[in-house]
Structure 1
């Protein structure tokens, strides 16, 4: 336990994405730009949904929750990296590391659940349009989101407590820009078999179950859309599904590549590239993917911009 106590006192060193000063400057500007774009884009979505009463429907209720989660998701990692660069420090305390890991994976779980809920919403809207209002009630929507938060918190609490029991070696350098579970397990002097087993079993179940729900929803949606006689109607439905499936593929592909492989097969370069995709790039792209091709949301965003201009 001596190693654990030393880790709690001295914390860890976040080595970041590059050791080259010129690359660090470039990465700082790049990540700052992407973070600001993520926050601004998702805030505009929330404002648009809030000001337009026509968007107070389940589809946009879930989209608003996704935008809120994406803002928080990026905020768990990027601001710390930017602050470290400005202050010239790389340290993070042991408790701070566990806290960052907790919120990161809680919000990743919420992204996971919300993508599944949104797929179910589209399934009901396309396959049972006449019963949509009766099925997707306000109570059910609130219950789906609240239940997702509860399950996400319980799941991440389990993995955080398992991580907190580990002892860590003298080498406290994490080859990453945030506290990720894989490099932390590699630094541990304890037996990490239980942690790895829980990630590959319980953690896999949490990720795979919603993914299966998404696939099942879109299989049923595809069958329903193919029965539509209008080519224009089929193309419109498939276009909407394609945007959602693009986000799903990007999100799940990177997470599976990073976390659901044996620890010995990981490399810091591949893991870092994949985690950047789902912690920074995906939250930034979501507002564009879900909004720019949505006429109702464009109209609501126009109202927001007009109000800002008029107030000035």
Structure 2
């Protein structure tokens, strides 16, 4: 294994990702095949959703508009980490430069935060559709949707810059081995030799704001949706309403659970064998599941995907 001694006070010029270094060659080959298949599926499904939501005039609802942006975020997100992981599974050189590591971390934060905020606005869209159906078109007009999407991108960019700076502001003189398959902030910060505890507290505080603030909007929206559903006497109406929310709730649970365990746990309770499964969950499993969940739970989307694939009977 490649080693580097940084105890003389010099800062790391490069890092070594050792997430799968201990795996045997057959295991790495199997992982490469599985992750390549998952990555290809995620790219194909998200790409198809982007194509049909941005070119099909019949899919003009606010939820489809948000879903197109969500799929675009997912494509960017998985491309930030998975191609590098696949390369490291088949090569012996697991080094990444300081600049590459910082850039990757910035993109992960930028895209991840933007997706968290976008999911909160999608919950508000479900609230407006269910609780105010007669005024839904005015409440969620195209102008309003654009005004909701733009802040998610802008805040994600600003937050990514802040967190990348916090993670790399101190010199790295302990070690340059990252116990993961990408440059994850808490693990990188732990390698710094000056005040890593303060940086970890800033990351934790930021995670509280970024994760819990959108979660408040999501919980509030669904609390009002639940109250509206319980007031209805028709059981079929309740089932239909629950069905329209199930897709979004599933995606929210996947993303927020994995992100919470990765960034809101005390680092003393973390071990590489515990961190990697959650990292895999929000870097590849969630982006792959998003289009599948939405396409199979949405009749409009199923019909459009069937027509796009030349199989109109898919909707049936």
Give the alignment's TM-score, normalised by structure 1: 0.93
Aligned residues: 305
Report the structure, 1 or 2, having the larger helix content: 1
* 1:168 aligned residue (172, 179, 187): 172
Please list the CA deviations of residues 128-176 of structure 1 after superposition, one character each: whole Å capped at 9, or x if unmatched.
0111111112111111111111111111211111222111125211111
Residue 282 of structure 1 and its aligned partner are, at CA, apart by 0.7
* 2:185 aligned residue (156, 181, 184): 181
Say which SS state the counterpart of residue 212 (structure 2) adopts.
helix
1:70 aligns with 2:74: yes
Say which SS state the counterpart of residue 203 (structure 1) adopts.
helix
Residue 3 of structure 1 and its aligned partner are, at CA, apart by 6.8
1:42 aligns with 2:46: yes
RMSD: 1.7
Distance 2:264 2:156 in 1: 18
Distance 2:25 2:234 in 1: 57
Distance 1:201 1:3 in 2: 32
Question: 1:196: which partner in 2?
Answer: 200
Q: Do 2:18 and 2:179's aligned partners in 1 also have CA atoms closer than 8 Å? A: yes
Distance 2:71 2:232 in 1: 32
Residue 4 of structure 1 and its aligned partner are, at CA, apart by 7.6
Q: Give the direction of change, closer, same or farther, for the CA distance of 1:287–1:172 in structure 2 (3 Å limit).
A: same
Question: 2:132: which partner in 1?
Answer: 128
Question: 1:103: which partner in 2?
Answer: 107
Q: Do 1:51 and 1:304's aligned partners in 2 also have CA atoms closer than 8 Å? A: no
| Bigger Cα displacement from structure 2, 68-77 vs 253-262 | 253-262
Q: Do 2:173 and 2:192's aligned partners in 1 also have CA atoms closer than 8 Å? A: yes
Please list the CA deviations of residues 216-253 of structure 1 after superposition, one character each: whole Å capped at 9, or x if unmatched.
10010011112222211110111222222122112111
| Bigger Cα displacement from structure 2, 95-104 vs 230-239 | 230-239
* 1:24 aligned residue (28, 40, 43): 28
Q: Do 1:16 and 1:81's aligned partners in 2 also have CA atoms closer than 8 Å? A: no
* 2:86 aligned residue (73, 82, 86): 82
Q: Which runs of 5+ in 1 are unaligned?
A: 308-312
Q: Give the direction of change, closer, same or farther, for the CA distance of 1:85–1:4 in structure 2 (3 Å limit).
A: farther
Distance 2:271 2:23 in 1: 17
| Bigger Cα displacement from structure 2, 261-270 vs 122-131 | 261-270
Listed as ranges, the matches of 1:265-276 within 5 Å are 265-276=269-280
Say which SS state the counterpart of residue 16 (structure 2) adopts.
strand
* 2:230 aligned residue (215, 226, 229): 226
Please list the CA deviations of residues 73-123 of structure 1 after superposition, one character each: whole Å capped at 9, or x if unmatched.
111100011122344310100000000000011111111011101000000
Q: Do 1:110 and 1:152's aligned partners in 2 also have CA atoms closer than 8 Å? A: yes
Q: Which runs of 5+ in 2 are unaligned?
A: 1-5, 312-316
Question: 2:16: which partner in 1?
Answer: 13
| Bigger Cα displacement from structure 2, 247-256 vs 69-78 | 247-256
Distance 1:148 1:128 in 2: 24
Q: Do 1:115 and 1:248's aligned partners in 2 also have CA atoms closer than 8 Å? A: yes
Question: 1:310: which partner in 2?
Answer: none
Distance 2:310 2:157 in 1: 39
Residue 2 of structure 1 and its aligned partner are, at CA, apart by 9.1
Say which SS state the counterpart of residue 248 (structure 1) adopts.
helix
Q: Do 2:29 and 2:90's aligned partners in 1 also have CA atoms closer than 8 Å? A: no
Say which SS state the counterpart of residue 63 (structure 2) adopts.
helix
Residue 5 of structure 1 and its aligned partner are, at CA, apart by 5.4
